[in-house]
Chains A and B, each alone.
Chain A
Amino acid sequence: DGGITQSPKYLFRKEGQNVTLSCEQNLNHDAMYWYRQDPGQGLRLIYYSQIVNDFQKGDIAEGYSVSREKKESFPLTVTSAQKNPTAFYLCASSPRAELWQPQHFGDGTRLSIL
């Protein structure tokens, strides 16, 4: 079945450590997105990519980095510069014809600080 796979489901980070969250899709979608979800908040856009080898900052990109070397993969690195990384991270994708209208999201990665 086609879908979006995020891993790991739970992740713990020590102070000063970078961690990378994986997002893989087998839907052949051009566009991919990373969102951060905090309790009682809507989703906020971190980064997005409309095509391979290109990505753009969203509203809260500081302390995060991404790459888009393959169409199916859009990993997110949470760097030590992100001072409040504890959150639920969601990856999504959409075809070019439905840009900004993701039908499905991955099941998320919950990141916590040790």
Chain B
Amino acid sequence: GDSVTQMEGPVTLSEEAFLTINCTYTATGYPSLFWYVQYPGEGLQLLLKATKADDKGSNKGFEATYRKETTSFHLEKGSVQVSDSAVYFCALTLNSGGSNYKLTFGKGTLLTVNP
């Protein structure tokens, strides 16, 4: 079945460090890919998305490129801030017959950024 695998956390960085959170997927067909962020005590927010190969999603300094050849969608940020501390989820939906189908999530990666 379809699945998403994220690097296990927790990830601890110092402020202004470079961030990479790896995400790979297994899917039949052509998925759309997403990164969601969950701040402490809150629900999830859509951070960025990419709907086809080689697309780059970006938001708030975060970027991820849809790499079909490596089935990956790694999240990157050049300089993290304390306020980026959160849990990050990679997710996918499949497009079947012109419609998207059920969002499948990875297990999440906890990021802690220290001042």
Query: How many A-B residue contacts, CB cutoff 8 Å?
Result: 59
User: A102 and B103: CB pair below 8 A?
Assistant: yes
Determine whether A74 belongs to the interface, using a CB cutoff of 8 Å to chain B: no
Determine whether A82 belongs to the interface, using a CB cutoff of 8 Å to chain B: no
A 67-109 binary contact with B (CB < 8 Å = 1; else 0): 0000000000000000000000011100000011111111110
Query: Closest CB of chain A to B103's CB: distance in Å?
Result: 5
Q: Give the total of B residues in contact with A, Cβ under 8 Å.
A: 23
Closest CB pairs A-B (n = 7): A105-B43, A42-B105, A100-B100, A105-B44, A100-B93, A43-B105, A103-B46
A sample of 8 more A-B contacts (CB under 8 A), given A4-B43, A42-B91, A108-B42, is: A40-B108, A42-B104, A42-B107, A92-B43, A100-B93, A101-B100, A105-B44, A107-B43
